[in-house]
Amino acid sequence: MTHIGRSFFLARKDVVGIVVLAILLVVVLPLTLDSFRLQFVGKYLTYAFVALGLVLCWGYAGILSLGQGVFFGLGGYCMAMYLKLEASSVENTKIQSTPGIPDFMDWNQITELPFFWKPFHSFPLTLVAIVAVPALFAFIIGFAMFKRRVGGVYFAIITQAIAAVLTILIVGQQGYTGGINGITDLRTLHGWDIRTDAAKTVLYFVCVALLFACILLAYYVKSSKLGRILVAMRDKEDRVRFSGYDVANFKVFVFCLAAALSAIGGAMFTLQVGFMSPSFVGIVPSIEMVIYCAVGGRLSILGAVYGTLLVNWAKTSFSESFPELWLLGLGGLFIAVVLAFPNGLAGIWQTYVAPRLGFLSGTKPTDPGAAPVAAE
C-alpha cells in the first residue's frame, strides 16, 4: 500500500476505505477463519472482480451487461485448459487410447488435440489469453452494438442471449470442452500442486493482491477524465456526442475493461476451486453477478467487494441450513435493492453512517456518479 498519503487519484476517504478493506482481507479474515472457510472467501473474491467490472460498466457508464458470466467463464476456461493439459501429460494418461490428451476428449473418441487447445501448452500464452480472449470477444460484441447505438435494454437482452448460447455450446460440445461437467481434475500449476491447503492459502493472497490492483485501476479510471466522460455519457449521451466525443469508443472500452476484470476473476476461480464448468457461464450466474454489484452499490468500487462477500456468505449459509429460503431471499434481495436501496450498501453507508464519522468525510462526498436513479 504505497498510496497512503498524498495521492493523485485517490481521495482521502478512498484511501481509508482501501486500507480498511486490506486489513480485513489480509489480516482479519486469514487469522479468524480456518483454512476451509478462507477458501470460501477466496472463491467469493473472484466474483468481486466481476462486480468491480460491473461498477465501471453499469454503475458509471450505464451499460448493463447480463453476460458477465461469459467473460468470467472464458477467463476460467483459459486457465483450466492450461492446467488440464499439464495434468494430462503422457505418463499421467498412458491408460487412454490416445495418451497426452485430456481424459474427456479420450472418452469422446477424439484422437488429436484440437487446434484451439494447442496454445494452452504455454504458460505465458495462457496468461495473455486469459485477458485477451474475453477482451477481444467483448470488443467484437461491443463494437458491433455500440457503433449502431444499441444500448440499454436491448444490450442487456442480447448479452443474456450470448450467455445462453455459450452455455449450450459448451454443454453440447462435450469432446472439446468437457461438457456439463466442465474441466475437472486439475492438479498442478507449472509443477506446483494447487490442491494442498498451503497452496490454497497462497492463492488466496495472490487473489487478494490482484483484487487490490484491480481496485486501484478502477479508482484510476473513475477519477480520470475518461471516468467523467462515462458518467456524462450515462446521464446525457447526446450532449456528449454533440460535444465531439465518439461515445461508442468509450462504451466499447469500458465494456472490454469489465470483461478483462471478470476474466481475471474467472482464472483465479479456476485456480482456487480446481475446476471450471458451464454452470458459471450461463444466464443465472451472470445475473447473480449483477446482484452482487447492486447490493454493494452500483456506484461504489469498494461496495462491490463487500456486496459480493455478503451475498455469497448469505448464499452459503442459507443454502447449508434452509435451501428453500435462499431463492426467496435472493429474489427478495433483487426487488429490495431496486425498489428501496438503489445505491445498495454504499448508499446506506453514505446516508446514515458516514455523516456520523467525521474523520472519513472531511468534505461532503461529491461523488461524480451521484443521482444514478435518473439514468435511463
342 binds another protein (CB under 8 A): yes
For another protein, which residue of 93, 160, 312, 350 counts as binding (CB under 8 A)?
160
The DSSP 8-state label assigned to residue 281 in this structure reads: T
Cβ neighbourhood burial of 360 (10 Å; 0-12, 13-18, 19+): middle
Q: Which of residues 10-69 bind another protein (CB under 8 A)?
A: 64, 66
The contact mask relative to another protein for 205-234 (x = CB under 8 A, - = no) is: ------------------------------
Region of 163-171, 229-237, 272-280, 359-367 interacting with another protein (CB under 8 A): 163-171
Q: Which three cell numbers stand for residue 303?
A: 461496495
CA atoms in the 13 A half-sphere facing the CB of 205: 12
Decide if residue 198 touches another protein (CB under 8 A). no
| 301 alpha-carbon distance from chain centroid | 12
For residue 90, the SS3 value is coil
Number of chain residues interacting with another protein (CB under 8 A)? 45
Q: Quote the least distance from Cβ 361 to another protein, whole Å.
A: 28
By CB under 8 A, is residue 150 in contact with another protein? yes
Torsion over CA: 47, 50, 56, 60 (sign) = negative
Q: Is 330 in the site for another protein (CB under 8 A)?
A: yes
Restricted to residues 59-118, the positions that interact with another protein (CB under 8 A) are: 64, 66
Q: Report the interhelical angle of 323-339 vs 301-321 (nearest 10°).
A: 150
Q: What residues pair up with 188 in beta bridges, in sequence order?
A: 193
Choose which of 56, 61, 105, 156 interacts with another protein (CB under 8 A). Answer: 156
Tell me which stretch binds another protein (CB under 8 A): 3-11, 111-119, 159-167, 210-218: 159-167
Distance CA(272)–CA(99), nearest Å, equals 27
Query: Using CB under 8 A, which of 90, 161, 209, 213 touches another protein?
Result: 161
If binding is defined by CB under 8 A, does position 153 make contact with another protein? yes
Nearer to another protein, 146 or 212 (CB): 146
Residue 75 CB contacts under 8 Å (≥ 6 apart), including other chains: 130, 131, 133, 134, 262, 263, 264, 265, 266, 267
Beta strands in the chain (DSSP E): 188-189, 192-193
Radius of gyration for the alpha carbons in the chain, expressed in angstroms and rounded? 21
Residues binding another protein (CB under 8 A): 64, 66, 141, 144-145, 148-150, 152-154, 156-158, 160-162, 164-165, 168-169, 171-172, 283, 287, 290-291, 294, 324, 327-328, 330-335, 337-339, 342, 373-376
